[in-house]
Amino acid sequence: MTSNKRPNLTLLAVSLALALGAAGSAQAAATIVINNLNGPGVGFNDATPATPVGGNTGTTLGQQRLIAFTHAANIWGATLTSSVPIVINAQFTPLACTATSAVLGSAGATQVFADFPGAPKAGTLYSYALANKLYGSEISDAPGAQINARFNSELGKAGCLTGSSFYFGLDGNEGSNIDFVATLLHEMGHGIGFQTFTNGSTGAQFAGYPSVWDHYLLDNTTNKLWVNMTNAERAASSLKDAGLSWTGPRVTAAVPSVLTATPELRIVGVGATSAAGDLYKVGEADFGPKLDKSPVTGQIAQVALQADSPGSACTPFNEANAAAVRRNIALVSRGTCGFAVKVKNAQNAGAIGVIVADNAPGPVTGMGGSDPTITIPAVRVTQADGALIAASLTKPNGNTAGTVGKFERSKTLISGTDAQRRITMYTPNPYQSGSSVSHYNTTASRNQLMEPAISADLTHTVTAPIDLTFELLKDIGW
Amino acid sequence: MHIPGLTLRSVVAIAALALTGSAFAAGQDGQASQTVSKDPVTGKVRNATAAEAKQLNDLRAADLAARKAERKAAGLPAAGVVRLQQNGIAAAYVDEELVSYSVVRRNADGKLEADCIQGKSAAEAALNNPVTTHSEEHQHDVQ
C-alpha cells in the first residue's frame, strides 16, 4: 500500500473489514485506512470527557468520533472488495454554520482516472478508489488519499446549530440529534463512486470525459443515455421529474426486493369511467397506518364546509358530515389546518379512510404531520384529481349513488421507478445544485441511504434487500 | 475542461435578471456550455440575451479564477485538467465543487432537515437558503 501520510500525522485507525455473506455469496473485503489529520487536543484527539453511548465505548469526544468513524468505515469495508486499501484523509475541523444551520461535513474523491488497464469502459472517468480496485494496484503517479473527509468540530456549540450535535452511538438512536454514522456512510458513498462528475446543470463533462455513471443514466422520455447526449440534452434531462432512470442491471434486479409497490387510489362504481376503475396517483401520510396489500375499500363521501369551521374538516364534524362519512372514505380539501387534524376529525366521525384533495395546482406529494392516535389511512391527491373525484359524487354530504374508493398498492408499479421498474434519479425542476442527479429519487420507498435527504428512518445498511447503494456501485465496477 | 456550476453569486445574479431561459454561451475553455434557468413567473425557458449570457460567463470566470487561486494558494494542483501519467493513464484532480456536503437546518417547527449537496459554494449557500423541496414523507408540508 502506498500511504499519503503527511509528516507528523498519526495513523490512528486501520480498519480491516472482512465479512462472509450467506452460503454461496462472495467474500467481501476491503481495507479502509483512516488517516487522522487532526493535531493534538482537537478533532479525533479531543480529550473532552464523554459518556459511552449507543455501543460507542469511547470516554472522550475524540475517541467517540474515531470509533464512530471506524464503525462506518467497517460497514463499507465489509461490503466492498478491493486488493488496494482505501485511504481516507479525515479530520474534524470548524466548518460553516449559523445558529440554526450547519455544514455537517463533506467527503469526496480526490482524483479520477480514465483509460487504464482493467477499466470496464474506455474513455470514461472512474473515481480514485474504484480505479485502484479495477487496476489492481496504486494507479496514481501522484499517490494520495482516495477520499478526503471533513466534519464539523463546532456542531452544537453556540452559534453552530446550537443545541444539536452529532450522535456518536452506533445503534441509530440519535433522537433529536444527528446520526453521525448514517451521515458518514452517505458521504463515503459519494467518495467511493456514487456520483457523476458530469455537471447536471450545464451538461458539461468533467475534464472532457464522461463519468462511468453517464453510461447508465437514461432519459426515459427520449431513450438516450447521458454518454450519448449533447450538453444541452443532459441539462434538459436533469430537469425531468422521474425522467432520468438508472439502467444498471444490478440495481434493476434488486429493485423489487428493496422498494415497495406504488400506492394508488382506484375509483370504482358509478363514479368510475371504466369497469376496471380509474387509477389516481396519491401521496401517503407520515401519520396513521401505511397502505398494505389489503385494500381499504369504501364509498366516498365529500365533507361539506361547516359554518363553525375555518376550513374543510378543521373542526369536529357536525351531524350531517358525520353521517356521511361513517364507515365511508371522507373526501376533504387541503388548507387552513393540518392534515393530521383533518384526518383525526374524520376518524372521530367514523370514517375508515380519508382522501385529501390539494387546494393548489402541482404534483402530488405526501402529507406531513404526526398524531399517534390516528388509526385510519389517508392519501393526498392533486387538486385536479380531487375535482374529478368530487364531480363523480352525487351529493355534497353523501354518496348514495356509490362511488367507491380503494386505497391499494399497485401490482405493477414500484415506488421511485419508471414504467420498466428502473429506479429514477433525483431530478427536480428547477435544478438543485449539488443534489440533482447524483442521488436516488426521493419518491423511492423505503427510504434509501443515497437520497439527497438523510432520513431519520435509515438503517446503517448499504446492501439489498434494505438498500440499493451497493447494487449501484456494483453496476459501475465495484 | 470543467465548466463550473453556478455559484451563489451566479444564482443571485440570475435571479436579479429574472433569466427565463437557457443560456448557451462559450465557457472558459471555449467549449459550449449551457445553463438552464426557469422563469419564476411562467415556468418556461428562453434563450438568454447577450447581456445576460455575458454576465453569467463573467461570474463563471470569476468563480473559476477564485477556485484556481484557492487551490494554488493551498499548494494543490489544478483540478479538472487532464494530465497524462507516465504509464499513459489519464488522470485529473477533483476540487471542492465536486465534493459532497451534508447540510442541516433547523426548521420553524424545530425539526432538523439534512440534505446532501455537492460543492462547497452550494453547501454554504444552503445554510441560509434551503435548496431542496423533496417530495417525500419526511419533507412534506404538514397542512
pLDDT in tens, A392-435: 886 445 545 578 999 999 989 999 999 999 999 999 888 887 78
pLDDT at B60: 58
Question: What is d(CA A235, CA B33) in angstroms, rounded to the nearest whole number?
Answer: 10
Looking at the fold, whether B64 and B114 belong to one and the same domain comes out as: no
Q: How far is A28 from chain B (nearest CA, A)?
A: 26
Whether this model's pTM surpasses 0.90 = no
CA proximity to A268, closest of A381, A392, A353: A392
- pLDDT(B41) > 70: no
pLDDT at A108: 94
CATH code assigned to A262-414: 3.50.30.30
Question: Which amino acid is present at B54?
Answer: K
Dihedral in degrees, nearest 10, Cα atoms A201, B94, A184, B114: -30
In terms of DSSP H, where are the helices of A85-230? Answer: 128-135, 180-191
CB atoms within 10 A of CB B66: 14
Query: Between A8 and A449, whose confidence is greater?
Result: A449
- pLDDT(A240) > 50: yes
A199 Cβ neighbours under 8 A, 6+ residues apart: A205, A206, B2, B3, B4, B5
Looking at the fold, whether B85 and B112 belong to one and the same domain comes out as: no
Positive/negative CA dihedral, B12, B17, B18, B24? negative
- Residue pair A124/A225 in contact (Cβ under 8 Å)? The answer is no
Q: Coil, strand or helix: which one is A298?
A: strand
Q: Coil, strand or helix: which one is A471?
A: helix
Give the residue range(s) of CATH 3.50.30.30 domains in chain A.
262-414
pLDDT at A69: 96
Question: What is d(CA A463, CA B123) in angstroms, rounded to the nearest whole number?
Answer: 28
Nearest to B36 among A101, A116, A235 (CB): A235
| Residue linked to cell 475541523 | A93
- Residue pair A424/A441 in contact (Cβ under 8 Å)? The answer is yes
pLDDT at A23: 28
Looking at the fold, whether B28 and B51 belong to one and the same domain comes out as: yes
A57 touches chain B (CB under 8 A): no
Looking at the fold, whether B17 and B61 belong to one and the same domain comes out as: yes
B-chain CB neighbours of A186 within 8 Å are 100, 102, 116
CA proximity to A216, closest of A241, A236, A198, A189: A198
**Residue A189: exposed, middle, or buried by beta-carbon count in 10 A (0-12, 13-18, 19+)?**
buried
Query: Which DSSP letter does residue A110 get?
Result: S
Question: If residue A33 lies in a helix (H) or strand (E), which one and from where to where?
Answer: strand A28-36
Q: Is residue B18 part of a domain?
A: yes
A-chain CB neighbours of B93 within 8 Å are 110-111
* A139: nearest CA partner in chain B: B89
C-alpha grid cell for residue A445? 420507498
Q: How far is B61 from chain A (nearest CA, A)?
A: 15
ipTM, 2 decimals? 0.79
B27 touches chain A (CB under 8 A): yes
Looking at the fold, whether B121 and B65 belong to one and the same domain comes out as: no
Nearest to B135 among A101, A103, A443 (CB): A443
B-chain CB neighbours of A368 within 8 Å are 137-142
Note if the bond before B46 is cis, omega within 30 degrees: no
Looking at the fold, whether B50 and B111 belong to one and the same domain comes out as: no
A345 touches chain B (CB under 8 A): no
* A199: nearest CA partner in chain B: B5
B-chain CB neighbours of A429 within 8 Å are 38
- Please give the backbone phi and psi of residue A168, each rounded to the nearest 5 degrees, phi first: -95, 5
Question: What is d(CA A186, CA A180) in angstroms, rounded to the nearest whole number?
Answer: 10
- Looking at chain A, the whole-number percentage of residues with pLDDT higher than 90 is 78
Tell me what the mean pLDDT of segment B45-68 comes to: 61
- Residue pair A230/A200 in contact (Cβ under 8 Å)? The answer is no
Tell me what the mean pLDDT of segment A357-381 comes to: 90
CB atoms B132 and A435 under 8 Å: yes
Q: Coil, strand or helix: which one is A191?
A: helix
Question: What is d(CA A263, CA A366) in angstroms, rounded to the nearest whole number?
Answer: 11
* B8: nearest CA partner in chain A: A433
Question: What is d(CA A236, CA B83) in angstroms, rounded to the nearest whole number?
Answer: 30
C-alpha grid cell for residue B12? 443571485
A-chain CB neighbours of B35 within 8 Å are 201-202, 235
Looking at the fold, whether B17 and B82 belong to one and the same domain comes out as: yes
Mean pLDDT (chain A, rounded): 90
Question: If residue A19 lies in a helix (H) or strand (E), which one and from where to where?
Answer: strand A10-19
CB atoms A187 and B100 under 8 Å: yes
A190 touches chain B (CB under 8 A): yes
**Number of domains within chain B:** 2
Q: Is residue B127 part of a domain?
A: yes
- Residue pair A236/B36 in contact (Cβ under 8 Å)? The answer is yes
Question: What is d(CA A284, CA A444) in angstroms, rounded to the nearest whole number?
Answer: 12
Question: Which amino acid is present at B106?
Answer: R
Calculate the CA A2 to chain-centre distance: 35
pLDDT in tens, A206-235: 999 999 999 999 999 999 999 999 999 999
CB atoms B131 and A434 under 8 Å: yes
- pLDDT(B64) > 80: no
Question: What is d(CA A300, CA A328) in angstroms, rounded to the nearest whole number?
Answer: 6
Query: Between B1 and A178, whose confidence is greater?
Result: A178
Q: Is residue B1 part of a domain?
A: no
Looking at the fold, whether B87 and B109 belong to one and the same domain comes out as: no
For the CA atoms of chain A, what is the radius of gyration?
A: 26
| Residue linked to cell 433522537 | A175
CB atoms B92 and A102 under 8 Å: no
In this prediction, residue B59 has a pLDDT band, given cuts at 50, 70 and 90, of low
| Strand ranges inside A170-309, DSSP E | 178-179, 217-219, 224-225, 244-246, 261-269, 278-281, 283-284, 296-302
A167 touches chain B (CB under 8 A): no
Q: Is residue B143 part of a domain?
A: no
Query: Which DSSP letter does residue A227 get?
Result: G
Q: What is the 3-class SS of chain B, one letter each residue?
A: CCCCCCCHHHHHHHHHHCCCCEEEEECCCCCEEEEECCCCCCCCCCCCCHHHHHHHHHHHHHHHHHHHHHHHHCCCCCECCCEECCCCCEEEECCHHHCEEEEEEECCCCCEEEEEEECHHHHHHHCCCCCCCCCCHHHCCCC
pLDDT in tens, A37-85: 999 999 999 999 999 999 999 999 999 999 999 999 999 999 999 999 9
Range of the domain at B113: 99-132
Mutate to test the interface with B, among A92, A101, A354, A439 (most CBs of B within 10 A): A101
* A443: nearest CA partner in chain B: B136
